[in-house]
Chains A and B, each alone.
Chain A
Amino acid sequence: MKKLLILSTALTGASFAANAQEVNVMSWGGAYAVSQVEAYHKPFTAATGITVVSIDADNPATPIKAQVEAGNVTIDVADVEYADAIRLCDEGLLEEIDMAMLPPAPDGTPAAEDFLPGAVTDCAVSTIVFSTVFAYDTTKFPEGPTTMADFFNMEKFPGKRGMRKGAKANLEMALMADGVPAADVYATLETPEGIDRAFGILDKIKTDTIWWEAGAQPPQLLADGEVAMTTAYNGRIFAAAVAEGKPFGTVWDGQVYEYDLFVIPKGAPNLEAAKQFITFATDTQRLADQAKWIAYGPARKSSGALVGMYQDGKTEMAPYMPTSAANLTNALASSYEFWVDRDTELNERFNAWLAAN
């Protein structure tokens, strides 16, 4: 027993010792995590010798909130959505990030001016702009759906649907499908009738929908033929269609785009390394590099000019970016002001709606 205790203590010790030269980065898995590993993690390790451990989650905001509240933080850097970054910061669950630690643009423009408006907050630094779009199987619909309304049109486009299991982006898309102009979506959702209306639209496809949780699931569901159409993060569809040659089409009409940000949970075990990592990863070149791997727009103005080809060297990235002018004709910027306070309530309602048969 005594020997066992020593051994197990040694084991515990070993796991702590292993943490010494590490930074644990939690992100969304799949093609997105790959792009981060290629653009940030590998060069960071090469430059500093600090190992980056990449950890996947369906939505990192939830596990880091649980970790901080339980007093058991193992993550150093997490990649979260805007509304979550604001909310976690408000609740005191994140370390503050000093704008001064972020590197200026190559031409000397300070970070504060180089980042897109709102991209840096008290506790978070944006890396990319991503979008929730819907994608379809081009072998099933050669003509293809073209508008958000088509997604909810079961007569014209029969087949299973896939949607993210949660209220966010789904409610907006439902309203846009119902003819609400992008500019009025959040004003409509502010009213109880607007919310009922959005759920009413979701009702139309509820029985035919598979609800996904991890961002890697929708391209897989499409590829397996489990769904004919699904909402997805645009970069995942791009990765599957361009890198793997899958027959996927993306519909940009009604896309909901927003920032993704790096945050540091309060009590991160490797705080200094975490800060070092964020400083490194959010410089102009690194952000531009990420676009070589996935179709997300960099959050720095100075990075935009450096974005060129996909890593295969022949695919022009611009048409696949959520921020390209052609893709923005009917697009909605996700409102963090709306979601930061209503996330809990609307998800509660969404889950009750989902559970009711």
Chain B
Amino acid sequence: MALPTYADPLEKIWYYTYRTICALIFIFLIAPILIVIPLSFNAEPYFTFTQKMLSFDPEGYSLRWYDLLLTQPGVPADVPRDAAWWARVWNEAAWINAAKNSVIIGFFSTIVAAALGTLAALGLSRPEMPYRRAIMAVLISPMIVPIIITATGLFFFYSNPCALISWTGLDQQCGRLAGTYFGVVLAHATLGIPFVIITVTATLVGFDQSLNRAAMSLGASPTTTFFKITMPLILPGVISGALFAFVTSFDEVVVVLFVAAHDQQTIPRQMWNGIREQISPAILSVATILVIVSVGLLAMVELLRRRSERLRGVTPH
């Protein structure tokens, strides 16, 4: 909104002050995310700008912290980097292993959350759904309940998951969930579910039910209708929800701290350890990579949102 022509001087001053305030708030929002990027190229083990960095001396910058991500803890850095070396990096480097775990756990928990969540969202969006409000409240609650409470509950539950059915005697065969990939995947799926529900139900709000009825009246079975008509239309919502669920898992540290063993070391947990002991620029290089990943994910979600709006014929006002 441009400044109206009838504005008096006071309003002009306020107009520019207001824009300045907003600019400052935007800086507050974005600066902390951008600041880590140049610092991750610091040649010195400090996380402040050195004189050399400020004078743009190339010597002030280096990739040593990124290199450290490949070599920590035990891969030699000063040897020829042949295939065997890369194989060692793939198998031994702590950050690479953490990344593998994060992706595996994120992938499986996202699939569980997206599949179950989409199904439930379809049910919740039907006008006939009984107890809609209460069920919705339960399904969204993992997002609202403080994570420490969830983690505490899972800690007790996972060390003896079958305590409740001990009267059947089956609990002896149960094993445990603590310290397993399966346990972490279940927990992360639960945490991702609210995001899937929210995005998919939001997509279904604008969904024209008559399309389904039209398909069925033309002889399509409910399954065909779902896959040919409903699914393509809600797919953008499902994918955004899945991306949210993936990010939730990818960024989750508290549950991992409480129920995972060292085998399931993830990137956030590795970062958590690193931050608590020392923030070396190595952490900042991981942070930079993660910022780039989130920029990519955000771009994807934005594109999906626009596509979905176009598909559903909702034009932005």
A residues contacting B by CB (< 8 A) are: 1, 4, 7-9, 11-12, 14-15, 18-19, 24, 29-30, 37, 53-56, 70-72, 74, 213-214, 216-217, 220
Given contacts A11-B185, A71-B176, A214-B276, 4 further A-B contacts (CB under 8 A): A8-B108, A11-B181, A15-B180, A72-B159
Q: Which residues of A contact B273 (CB under 8 A)?
A: 29, 56
Q: What 1/0 mask marks residues of chain B from 135 to 150 whose CB sits below 8 Å from any chain A CB?
A: 0000000000000000
Q: Tell me, in angstroms, the Cα distance from A88 to B160 when the chains sit together.
A: 22
Partner of A4, one of B112, B179, B264: B112
Q: Which residue of B lies closest to A219 (CB)?
A: B278
Q: Which residues of A contact B160 (CB under 8 A)?
A: 71
Q: What 1/0 mask marks residues of chain B from 72 to 83 whose CB sits below 8 Å from any chain A CB?
A: 011000000000
| 9 closest residue pairs by CB, A with B | A220-B278, A70-B159, A216-B277, A74-B261, A11-B181, A72-B159, A72-B178, A12-B182, A55-B262
Q: Which residue of A lies closest to B111 (CB)?
A: A4
B residues contacting A by CB (< 8 A) are: 73-74, 104, 108, 111-112, 115, 155-156, 158-160, 176, 178-182, 185, 261-264, 273, 276-278
Q: A4-B112, A8-B181, A11-B181 are in contact. Are A71 and B262 (CB under 8 A)?
A: no
Are B182 and A11 closer than 8 Å at their CB atoms? Answer: yes
Are A30 and B178 closer than 8 Å at their CB atoms? Answer: no
Q: Tell me, in angstroms, the Cα distance from A71 to B157 when the chains sit together.
A: 11
27 contacts between A and B (CB under 8 A): A1-B115, A4-B108, A4-B112, A8-B181, A9-B182, A11-B108, A11-B182, A11-B185, A12-B181, A15-B264, A29-B273, A29-B277, A30-B277, A55-B262, A56-B277, A70-B156, A70-B178, A71-B159, A72-B158, A72-B159, A72-B176, A213-B276, A214-B276, A216-B277, A216-B278, A217-B276, A220-B277
Q: Tell me, in angstroms, the Cα distance from A70 to B177 when the chains sit together.
A: 12
Q: Which residues of A contact B112 (CB under 8 A)?
A: 4
Q: A216-B277, A216-B278, A220-B277 are in contact. Are A15 and B262 (CB under 8 A)?
A: no
Q: A74-B262, A213-B276, A216-B277 are in contact. Are A8 and B182 (CB under 8 A)?
A: yes
Q: Which residue of B lies closest to A8 (CB)?
A: B182
| Distance between A236 CB and nearest chain B CB, rounded to angstroms | 11
Partner of A217, one of B181, B182, B277: B277
Q: Which residues of B contact A14 (CB under 8 A)?
A: 181
Q: Tell me, in angstroms, the Cα distance from A14 to B180 when the chains sit together.
A: 10
Are A70 and B155 closer than 8 Å at their CB atoms? Answer: yes
* Among A4, A30, A72: residue with most chain B CB under 10 A: A72
Q: Tell me, in angstroms, the Cα distance from A29 to B276 when the chains sit together.
A: 11
Q: Which residues of B contact A4 (CB under 8 A)?
A: 108, 111-112
Q: Which residues of B contact A15 (CB under 8 A)?
A: 179-181, 261, 263-264
Q: Tell me, in angstroms, the Cα distance from A4 to B178 when the chains sit together.
A: 19
Are B180 and A12 closer than 8 Å at their CB atoms? Answer: yes
Q: Tell me, in angstroms, the Cα distance from A24 to B262 when the chains sit together.
A: 9
Partner of A214, one of B155, B182, B277: B277
Q: Which residues of B contact A11 (CB under 8 A)?
A: 104, 108, 180-182, 185
Q: Which residues of B contact A56 (CB under 8 A)?
A: 273, 277
